[in-house]
Amino acid sequence: MASYQAPLREIGFVLNDVLDIARLTQIPGFGEATPETLTGLIEEAAKLIEDKLAPLNSVSDQQGCKLQDGEVTVPDGFTEFYRIYREAGWIGISQKTEYGGAGLPYTLGKVIEELLCSANVAFALYPGLTQGCFEALEASASDEIKRIYLPRLATGEWSGTMCITEPQAGSDVGAARTRATPNGDGSYRIDGGKIFITSGEHRMADNIVHFVLARLPDSPPGVKGLSTFVVPKYLVNPDGTLGARNGVRVQSIEHKMGINGSVTCVLNFDNARGWIVGAPNQGIQNMFVMMNLARIMVGFQGLGQCELATQNAIRYARERKQGKAFNGKSEIIEHPDVRRMLLQMKATTEGARVLAYETAMYVDLARHHPDARVREAAQDWVDLNTPLVKAFCTDSAFELGSLAIQVYGGHGYIKEHGIEQIVRDSKILCLYEGTNGIQAMDLVRRKLMLHNGRLPNRFFDAVRTDLGRGPETLTAPLARALDALERTTRWVQDNYKSNPDDAAFGSCDYLRAFALTYLGWNWLRMVRAADARNDTALAHAKRATAHYFATRMLSQVPALLDNVRQDAAPLMALDAGHF
Amino acid sequence: MASYQAPLREIGFVLNDVLDIARLTQIPGFGEATPETLTGLIEEAAKLIEDKLAPLNSVSDQQGCKLQDGEVTVPDGFTEFYRIYREAGWIGISQKTEYGGAGLPYTLGKVIEELLCSANVAFALYPGLTQGCFEALEASASDEIKRIYLPRLATGEWSGTMCITEPQAGSDVGAARTRATPNGDGSYRIDGGKIFITSGEHRMADNIVHFVLARLPDSPPGVKGLSTFVVPKYLVNPDGTLGARNGVRVQSIEHKMGINGSVTCVLNFDNARGWIVGAPNQGIQNMFVMMNLARIMVGFQGLGQCELATQNAIRYARERKQGKAFNGKSEIIEHPDVRRMLLQMKATTEGARVLAYETAMYVDLARHHPDARVREAAQDWVDLNTPLVKAFCTDSAFELGSLAIQVYGGHGYIKEHGIEQIVRDSKILCLYEGTNGIQAMDLVRRKLMLHNGRLPNRFFDAVRTDLGRGPETLTAPLARALDALERTTRWVQDNYKSNPDDAAFGSCDYLRAFALTYLGWNWLRMVRAADARNDTALAHAKRATAHYFATRMLSQVPALLDNVRQDAAPLMALDAGHF
């Protein structure tokens, strides 16, 4: 079975030595979120998650969820762990104290998300969606709704969902047809069907709060005619106690490739009562508040799975003996091709962690920093990084899961080792909250264009400032990657309006090249930080892994970007019938 | 559910227009294997496989195999289809007529292998292992053993296995411990345990013939002390009738990521009777006769899964509508990023098919051509191509399965669509018959070195001869890839003895770069052949797909090869404890 130990040394290194998380203490209200306090909390969460959640990973995959007579049964141990986890206050750890949260930094919440998602990504979706629902209501709901719902979501007493997708409306959200009809008493009658609803029905929480995208009568077609509603499983009395069952029922649950412990529902809204969240026809904006944070969260889910794949592959390769390597040793970690796979995994996971944590830290700065210019800059980084974190960390999770299987050989294909589960659990991360193709389009169509290209310029400037400081084996390929990225970015910005097909055709390669360049910067900063720490083992590992990254991964960026600056016309011209 | 239609037009195009399969008719005994005859047989097999086997793919994945009281139950429909398939003579289609086969070209057998593996790769392993066992016995067994066993394997009346792997002996075959002790009557007593035995126990055939690697008393350690034995499930009387149950039993069966319809056994040999195949301590050579053919077969399994992923993704993308593409159409095939994925799939599958079929054709030429020089050249191609076919086609199957899921979006993650099964079924192909890392080492350590580098030189010469004939959009990147590949090949050949770690570290990238260059040549030949055919739709499709391949895949080769020519020392120096 796959095992899991939280990478506490590495987490501390990234937070403190690479990112200087202490600067969050300058934010009003975060004065006590010192590095020491954060470390203590992370260690506490790690212990709970390692001891009580990680052992459920394999069994929850085997058992899955069951639907009988409209009721969902979750895997053994989930209900008990959900109770322990929520009672310890982890669900609302980053939510505002006025709504029942612990008021600690968003960054801390995301670090714990990583731990949770290494241990059991299927379980993590229950508190994860609850946090997403909280954030959506906090941003757009009326004070009355906030007063009733938020404290109960913060404690996990109630759990949340996002009801967006319909059979004909997947990536094309604007095709949604679910109807919302005013009842005349301030409430709405909701009718329609939603699919792929994570945590759509279960009994671990007393109530389930559905955040629903629906269409008011006479609203315009497409995304501009969508509004958002809160639709509870049980109606809620003004004092917050529960009333009658609402008209939302699970119709069926999906049988999936992985995340079997997470229930995925087809929900039927039939004369359900809901209350509007935010203004009419502003649903897509309200949804995106939550969606953007959800995308960062999914990136952390990917990071958690990257870590799980990497640490298990390294452990196995240290113990497993086969033949003799050229250096005379028998452990497979000494075989060059196995070592290559391990370094690919390590370079990716540790580099991605800096990207993800830095993004989370910018969320805190963008929300709370007293200086408006700092907030603006931080928000630019969040906007730029969101598609990178979401797509790169999740593509990497799938890739690293596959590499972990290769390290295990035939044993990796057998379920009892728990390694193939990583591939199955990870693949959904590349699909939900916008497929990774959608992320690439978001980067190319929106993020490069915002504020006259200010977002990527911040990145180019920051990396260029750091280029003078570091070993040339790393700075030279980083400079080459950066030049190619900047040149390609200008090409995309110039061409996009006239030839949208070109930029769209290369968007996934562009996103990958951007993320690899970002990781090159991260590796430069990690090497510098490790050298400064006087820890020989850490410095050796960082230097060797950075060397791998520079010579085998970063070096691919210019060629990848050559791909992007190509004419798509000959490819778009092929008749669909001739494929 | 995934559907399957044999790509008959494409198969005919590759065999006849690209490879000129008609030249096989010049081989004595193959005079009647004309293109028309082969086409007729392929169509007949395709109809049977489409109608009766493909519909079992999803159900056999769900049901899997069951072990009860030492007996294995295969999924519904397998026993019936096995009977139909073997009675139609397909299992022995390429085996010699003197041993009960149909005596048709090996190439034909492999084309049918592709069809079988698109329709149901788990099922395909039952006849596949039987063919492997036939080939091993045909190459090395005594006339007496051949007389008894081969005709029954050719008809599928008996089925076969290969018993190589043990818990401590995976990639390190020489660590095998299973013992063979002479009984004094010409037979041997076999004791030991084998794992990962495909088709190790079932009741679809009357007997199961195990081809077992074991160690004689006082034999040297490692691979030089291994011998091969035939160990039947039921002992065989001199007249071929079945006697008592032999001492080989299934101890347990594995629960796997995929290929659930194929039973994977832990076999226990306890005082089993076996008969030696070939000379003592020559087991590894005997095994490799079969293993090399098995590796080509696995490549065809990968090709079959590539085709399944590609044709389903194209079909879905033509029908599914989401939003509006820049050209105003709604089918997702018109969205540039979806089209990119489809072209990646199409360019890979069609290019890989030429590689695989050409390799199969060279097997026929190497075996049977009357001219010794033609045979020698053909064998060089077979030796060179075997690791390319095995590793590239199987890595591609996994990659294309993953892309197919992305094309389907969230629906691809749901089991009922049958798409995620491709990822699960394909992953084993990258592991068995030598992991793809082992294939890369075989290419770098052996195939580049044989006969003073004669094998890759044949390839370089052949491609260079063709470079003058074709559109420059294709020949220019092909020339660049070829130059880089030739230069890197010299580097590997020069450095391998002094710095084996360097070449080994880059071996997987080298193999991929070699395969992509090979596919570049294939695309050049396909474009030329399509232009010559006066079929506008085909010519358009080939040109556009070749353009994709040249600008997006072949273009990556030089950078990939830059990776290979790197010093591995800084990476090998990292202490295993510091990872």
For chain A, say whether B333 makes contact (Cβ under 8 Å).
yes
Query: What is the band of A193 on the pLDDT scale with cuts at 50, 70, 90?
Result: very high
Among the partner-chain residues A172, A336, A558, the one whose CB lies closest to the CB of B322 is: A172
* Residues β-bridged to residue B197: B265
For chain B, say whether A427 makes contact (Cβ under 8 Å).
yes
Q: Report pLDDT for B178.
A: 98
C-alpha span between B108 and A296 (Å, rounded): 51
List of chain A residues whose C-beta atoms are within 8 Å of the C-beta of residue B431: 405-406, 409-410, 412-413
Nearest to A384 by CA among A327, A303, A453, A315: A453
Q: Looking at chain A, which residue has its C-alpha nearest residue B496?
A: A326
Which residues fall within 8 angstroms of residue B146, CB to CB, at 6 or more apart? B99, B137, B138
Contact B501 A327 (CB under 8 A): yes
Query: Chain B window 199-218: which residues touch A at a Cβ cutoff of 8 Å?
Result: none
Q: Report pLDDT for A30.
A: 97
Angle, vertex CA B65, rays to CA B60 and CA B67, nearest 5? 165
Among the partner-chain residues B326, B415, B544, the one whose CB lies closest to the CB of A500 is: B326
C-alpha span between A442 and A381 (Å, rounded): 14
Q: How far is CA A147 from CA A130, A142, A261, B254, in A?
A: 16, 9, 31, 53
> Distance from A484 to chain B by nearest Cα, in Å?
14
Q: What's the N-to-C CA distance of chain A in angstroms?
A: 43
C-alpha span between A383 and A442 (Å, rounded): 10
For chain B, say whether A328 makes contact (Cβ under 8 Å).
no
Q: Where are the alpha helices (DSSP H) in A68-201?
A: 78-87, 106-140, 143-154
Q: Indicate whether A497 pLDDT > 90.
A: no
Among the partner-chain residues A322, A436, A566, the one whose CB lies closest to the CB of B170 is: A322
**For chains A and B, what is the number of CB pairs under 8 angstroms?**
252
B431 alpha-carbon distance from chain centroid: 11
User: How does pLDDT run along chain B (579 residues), one tens digit per residue?
Assistant: 899 999 999 999 999 999 999 999 999 999 999 999 999 999 999 999 999 999 999 999 999 999 999 999 999 999 999 999 999 999 999 999 999 999 999 999 999 999 999 999 999 999 999 999 999 999 999 999 999 999 999 999 999 999 999 999 999 999 999 999 999 999 999 999 999 999 999 999 999 999 999 999 999 999 999 999 999 999 999 999 999 999 999 999 999 999 999 999 999 999 999 999 999 999 999 999 899 999 999 999 999 999 999 999 999 999 999 999 999 999 999 999 999 999 999 999 999 999 999 999 999 999 999 999 999 999 999 999 999 999 999 999 999 999 999 999 999 999 999 999 999 999 999 999 999 999 999 999 999 999 999 999 999 999 999 999 889 999 999 999 999 999 999 999 998 888 999 999 999 999 999 999 999 999 999 999 999 998 999 999 999 999 999 999 999 999 999 999 999 999 999 999 999
Contact by Cβ (8 Å): B219, B183: no
Contact B322 A175 (CB under 8 A): yes
Tens of pLDDT along A271-292? 999 999 999 999 999 999 899 9
C-alpha span between A426 and A386 (Å, rounded): 18
Query: Chain A window 295-314: which residues touch B at a Cβ cutoff of 8 Å?
Result: 314
DSSP string spanning B322-354? -S--TTS--BGGGSHHHHHHHHHHHHHHHHHHH
Secondary structure string (H, E, C) spanning B81-130:
HHHHHHHCCCCCCCCCHHHCCCCCCHHHHHHHHHHHHHHHHHHHHHHHHH
C-alpha span between A67 and B462 (Å, rounded): 61
The region, left, alpha or beta by phi > 0 then psi within -120 to 50, assigned to residue B156 is left
Among the partner-chain residues A346, A501, A548, the one whose CB lies closest to the CB of B326 is: A501
Q: Which two structure tokens, joined as six digits, stand for B155?
A: 């008809």
For the complex shown, is ipTM > 0.90? yes
Contact A431 B405 (CB under 8 A): yes
Q: Looking at chain A, which residue has its C-alpha nearest residue B540?
A: A574
C-alpha span between B176 and B369 (Å, rounded): 38
% pLDDT > 90, chain A: 98
For chain B, say whether A196 makes contact (Cβ under 8 Å).
yes
Number of other residues whose CB lies within 10 A of the CB of residue B25: 15
Q: Report pLDDT for B1.
A: 83
C-alpha span between A536 and A37 (Å, rounded): 27
Please give the radius of gyration of chain B, using alpha carbons only, rounded to the nearest integer.
Answer: 24
Angle, vertex CA B398, rays to CA A415 and CA A503, nearest 5? 130
* Cut 0.95: pTM above it: yes
Contact by Cβ (8 Å): B109, B124: no
DSSP string spanning B163-218? E--BTTBSS-GGG---EEEE-SSS-EEEEEEEEEEET-S-SSSSEEEEEEEEE-TT
Nearest to B125 by CA among B356, B300, B330, B309: B300
Q: Report pLDDT for B534.
A: 87
For chain A, say whether B559 makes contact (Cβ under 8 Å).
yes
List of chain A residues whose C-beta atoms are within 8 Å of the C-beta of residue B432: 410
List of chain A residues whose C-beta atoms are within 8 Å of the C-beta of residue B500: 326
Number of other residues whose CB lies within 10 A of the CB of residue A312: 25
Which residues fall within 8 angstroms of residue B51, CB to CB, at 6 or more apart? none
Q: Which two structure tokens, joined as six digits, stand for B198?
A: 């495909």
Q: How far is CA B212 from CA A233, A376, B228, in A?
A: 61, 69, 5
For chain B, say whether A173 makes contact (Cβ under 8 Å).
no
Catalytic residue among B166, B350, B420, B433: B433
List of chain A residues whose C-beta atoms are within 8 Å of the C-beta of residue B323: 171-172, 174-175
Q: What average pLDDT does the structure give for chain A?
A: 97
Active site residue A433: yes
Provide the 3-class DSSP secondary structure of residue A531. helix
Q: Indicate whether A174 pLDDT > 90.
A: yes
Q: Report pLDDT for B490.
A: 97
Strands A242-245 and A158-163: unpaired
Q: What's the N-to-C CA distance of chain B in angstroms?
A: 43
Q: How far is CA A285 from CA A223, A224, B110, B260, in A?
A: 9, 9, 55, 45
For chain B, say whether A9 makes contact (Cβ under 8 Å).
no
Backbone angles phi, psi at A161, to 5 degrees: -140, 170
Contact by Cβ (8 Å): A189, A101: no
Q: How far is CA A372 from CA A270, A376, A457, A466, B121, in A?
A: 46, 6, 19, 25, 60
Q: Indicate whether A496 pLDDT > 90.
A: no
Tens of pLDDT along A80-110? 999 999 999 999 999 999 999 999 999 999 9
Query: What average pLDDT score do residues A313-318 get?
Result: 98
Angle, vertex CA B81, rays to CA B77 and CA B85, nearest 5? 170
Q: Which helix (H) or strand (E) covers residue A520, if one does?
A: helix A507-531
Query: What is the band of A433 on the pLDDT scale with cuts at 50, 70, 90?
Result: very high
Q: Looking at chain B, which residue has its C-alpha nearest residue A498?
A: B326
Q: Which helix (H) or strand (E) covers residue B526, if one does?
A: helix B507-531
Nearest to A418 by CA among A428, A429, A408, A432: A408
For chain A, say whether B405 makes contact (Cβ under 8 Å).
yes
> Distance from A566 to chain B by nearest Cα, in Å?
8
Backbone angles phi, psi at B67, to 5 degrees: -115, 125
Q: How far is CA B424 from CA A427, A525, B64, B256, in A?
A: 11, 38, 13, 9
Q: How far is CA A266 from CA A206, A230, A255, B418, in A?
A: 20, 17, 12, 19
Q: Give burial (CB, 10 Å; 0-12/13-18/19+) of A9.
A: exposed
Which one of B543, B551, B579 would you mutate to disrupt binding with A, by most A Cβ within 10 Å of its Cβ? B579
For chain B, say whether A558 makes contact (Cβ under 8 Å).
yes
Nearest to A571 by CA among A491, A501, A511: A501
Q: Report pLDDT for A534.
A: 87
Contact by Cβ (8 Å): B137, B152: no
For chain B, say whether A339 makes contact (Cβ under 8 Å).
yes
